[in-house]
Each structure stands twice: as C-alpha cells, then as structure tokens.
Chains A and B, each alone.
Chain A
Amino acid sequence: MDLRFWQKKESKQFKVLAAGFQKRRSALLAEFKEKHEDVVSWAARRKINVNDVVSKGARTLAASFAAGAVLVSSGAAQISHAPAVKELHRELLEGNLPAFLSAKKDTSDRVKKILNTTRMSDENVLTEKLSKELNIKIVSELQGIRLNKTSGIIGYESHLTRYPGDNILTHFETSGDYKRYSHASMAGGPGAWGYIVPSRQALTEKDIERERYYLVAQTWLSPNWGSAATKEWFRHRKMIVINPQNGKAVVGVLEDAGPETGTGRAFGGSPEVMEELGLRGGGINVLMYFVDDPADQVPLGRYGL
C-alpha cells in the first residue's frame, strides 16, 4: 500500500521557498568550512560535527546575549557585590559570628598603627598584637614549621590553571571578575603541587576561593624543608598578608612555590590578592604569617571589610 496517499501534500510555494532556503544554507556552510579551516580542524580533533558547532554555537551566543542584556542594565557594581553577600551567608551558616563581626570593621588604620609602633624584629609581640586586633591567631611559626621569611617583596602573579584546560574564559565566575582580573594572564601550567583539581567537574566553591586568594612562598627555602611530608604540609596552608603602607590584610592559601631567588622577591600573590592589598603595581614589602585556623573558620579574602 502506498502510504504517501495519507501524507499531506506540500504547497508549490513552500517547496520553492524551502528549496531556496536549503540552497542558501548549504552555500553558506560550504563557504564557512572553506573560510574557517581551523574551526574544521578543531572540530575534527574533538570529533564534533562542524554543523553542530555552528548551530550549538549560535544558540549559545544568542542565549548568552539575551542573559547579558539583563546584566548590562543592572550594572557591574551589583555584580561585584555578589561575593560579599555570599561570604556573609557562609559566615552565618558556619556559625563563625565573632570572626564575622570582627571582619566587618575596617581594621586597616589600626593595623597600620600597630606596625608603626612595634619593632619588626619583635616578631612575637607583633603577631600577638595583630592577632588581638584581627581576632584571629597569627603566628610566624606553626607546628614547628617556618617559612624562610616573614617579610619581603611580593610579586603580582598570573591566575593559576586550576585544572587541565582552564583558561581565561573558563576561569571567572562573573563578568565583574572577568572585567577586573582578566588583564592578568593565566599561568602556563599547574602550580608546585599540580593542578588544584583534576577536572572542571571536580571544582568546588572552596577550590575556586583557594585559587582566587592564592599565595606563593619560597617553601623550599624553609628551614624545615627536606621531606615530602613538609612539602605537603605547606599545600593549602592558610596565611595572612599585610600591606604595611595601608594596613590592608588578605587571608589566602599557599598554592604555588616561588618566586625564584634571583628575582629579589620573597612572595607572590594572585591578581585578586594583590588588588585587595592595593598593590596593582606590585613590588613592595609585605608581611606574611601563618593563620592558625585548624577548624578552617577564617574566610579567605580581604580582611576588615
């Protein structure tokens, strides 16, 4: 039985126009493939059909612009406030109210005063005063381990590659962060302890924060250096960096080893750390101490805001 009898007959005008549209699309696709040979190669390497790259790409593009229009109208300032709100919730949820309340005061003037009235060589006196003022335990030696220095020049580092394939486009959570920090390039590969996570899927909010506020120190010059256990001890180690010129303090974690001894620098900070410290130009002396925080309650980021 010929089932075509039951099929609806297409109109002549439809057939002519559909054929014209089809021809136009085929010509455009052929031209596209000829013009963008690198895209064809890229798709072949990933075993993706070029036609799918085009259609999926265009749909993503349109959807993103539709969403982006809302962001533009609401303004970048609102975007930049989002992490602060998030931080507030985290603090309250974790029940760390005293630290939260303390952190909500701008402490920079008082920190500056402590630094101006205490001799840098009186390390214990200095860390005690800072601990009292900031309401967190700050020490130059933790569990018998020290760094080679507690003060020195800090350098402006690139963004760490958190997982294989992480790049300047996948790296930021908000357009506000992209605008503020994309000028700093990505590090060419993993840090001294390898990638933070093995894949994008494994990335957690904590990992994102760790990279955002990562610090670099010359761990191999530590007087305690010499075993795999010591190397591992330094990984994710919570530290506080203080800019003595303005009293600003940032809590971060060690995620890489460096800088090289010949650079004249003792420490490094992520672009986010450096901006929070008011050190866009980099290259000034800072103080860096351990934060004794076994319960992991002290949040990363600018302290005193």
Chain B
Amino acid sequence: MSIIATAFLKKENIIFELQTLNISNEEREKLLKMADEIAEVRLIDLILERLEKKDKELFLEQLESGASEVFIEFLREKIENIEVVLARAAKVLENEIIEDIRSLKEGKND
C-alpha cells in the first residue's frame, strides 16, 4: 500500500474486511492499490476545492517542483485544521470502501 493510504486511511480496517473475502493475497494487494488510487482523487480534490484560484496555481506549481515543509505551512495557513479535514475525509472514504466489501459479501453486488 502506498504512502497516501498509509498516511490517511486506516488500512487495518480495510485489510480486515478484505480478509473475510474469498480472494488471493495478490488480489487483496491489487484491491488495496485501487483503494489507494480512489483516496488520491478524493484528497487532492478536497484540497483544491478549498483553495482560491491564485492559491491553486501556486499549489500546483509547488507540487511540480517537489515536496517541502513550506508547502505544508502554506496549506495549513490557507485551510484551517487541514489535518482534521483530511482525516475526516479519509474516514468517510474508509467507511465507503468497507461498505462496498460488506455489500459484496451480502450478495448485494453479486
């Protein structure tokens, strides 16, 4: 699992749910990677929708030039309680993924 999910999603909970399915380890890894990719879109969207147009451009330029502590300070300044906002969004996503898995087990998606 990549750093994005490790940092924001409670992977233990998702892994626990996946272990209840009749799938191989390789398939479980693939699904975790896909969950990761969903998280990426959600989180970047969350940031961008909270930034003003001029700040969005600065943010994107900075992303292109690489990570830095300055970049985090900037986001902390522009988005109040950014860590809390991101953690909440990650929790919502985690619940959605777990719900998907449970629905599958219950045959709703089958």
What is A's interface to B at a CB cutoff of 8 Å? 8, 10-14, 16-18, 20-22, 24-25, 28-29, 31-32, 35-36, 38-39, 42, 46, 48, 53-68, 71, 165, 167-175, 178-179, 182, 200
Given contacts A20-B109, A169-B58, A170-B61, contact A36 B30 (CB under 8 A): no
**Pair A13/B21 contact, Cβ less than 8 Å:** yes
**Pair B73/A178 contact, Cβ less than 8 Å:** yes
Given contacts A53-B63, A175-B72, contact A28 B22 (CB under 8 A): no
Going nearest first, the 3 A-B pairs with the smallest beta carbon separation are A58-B40, A14-B27, A21-B34
Cα–Cα distance between A179 and B62 once the two chains are bound (Å) = 17
> Interface 1/0s, chain B 37-51, versus A by CB < 8 A?
111111111011100
Q: How far is the CB of B92 from chain A (nearest CB, A)?
A: 13
Q: Is B110 interfacial (CB 8 A cutoff)?
A: yes
Q: Is B15 interfacial (CB 8 A cutoff)?
A: no
Q: Is the interface of A mostly helix, strand, loop or mixed?
A: helix
**Pair A32/B8 contact, Cβ less than 8 Å:** no
Cα–Cα distance between A13 and B30 once the two chains are bound (Å) = 13
**Pair A65/B7 contact, Cβ less than 8 Å:** yes
**Pair B4/A59 contact, Cβ less than 8 Å:** yes
Q: Which residues of A contact B59 (CB under 8 A)?
A: 169
Given contacts A11-B22, A11-B23, A39-B56, contact A55 B40 (CB under 8 A): yes
> Which among B24, B34, B62 is the interface contact of A11 at CB below 8 angstroms?
B24
> Which among B37, B58, B65, B67 is the interface contact of A67 at CB below 8 angstroms?
B67
- 28 example contacts (A-B, Cβ-Cβ < 8 A) are as follows A11-B22, A13-B23, A13-B104, A18-B34, A20-B104, A21-B31, A28-B42, A35-B45, A35-B49, A39-B48, A39-B60, A42-B60, A48-B64, A53-B63, A57-B44, A57-B63, A58-B39, A60-B71, A61-B75, A62-B4, A62-B6, A67-B69, A165-B61, A168-B58, A169-B61, A169-B62, A178-B70, A182-B74
Number of B positions contacting A (CB below 8 A): 58
Cα–Cα distance between A29 and B38 once the two chains are bound (Å) = 9
> Which among A16, A24, A59 is the interface contact of B2 at CB below 8 angstroms?
A59
Q: Which residues of A contact B24 (CB under 8 A)?
A: 8, 11, 14
Q: Which residues of B contact A22 (CB under 8 A)?
A: 34
Cα–Cα distance between A14 and B57 once the two chains are bound (Å) = 39
Cα–Cα distance between A147 and B64 once the two chains are bound (Å) = 43
Cα–Cα distance between A238 and B42 once the two chains are bound (Å) = 51
Q: Which residues of A contact B77 (CB under 8 A)?
A: 182
Q: How far is the CB of A40 from chain B (nearest CB, A)?
A: 11
Q: Which residues of B contact A10 (CB under 8 A)?
A: 27
> Interface 1/0s, chain B 61-103, versus A by CB < 8 A?
1111111111111110100000100100000000001001100
Q: Which residues of B contact A17 (CB under 8 A)?
A: 21, 23, 31, 100-101, 104, 109
Q: How far is the CB of B86 from chain A (nearest CB, A)?
A: 8
**Pair B65/A170 contact, Cβ less than 8 Å:** yes
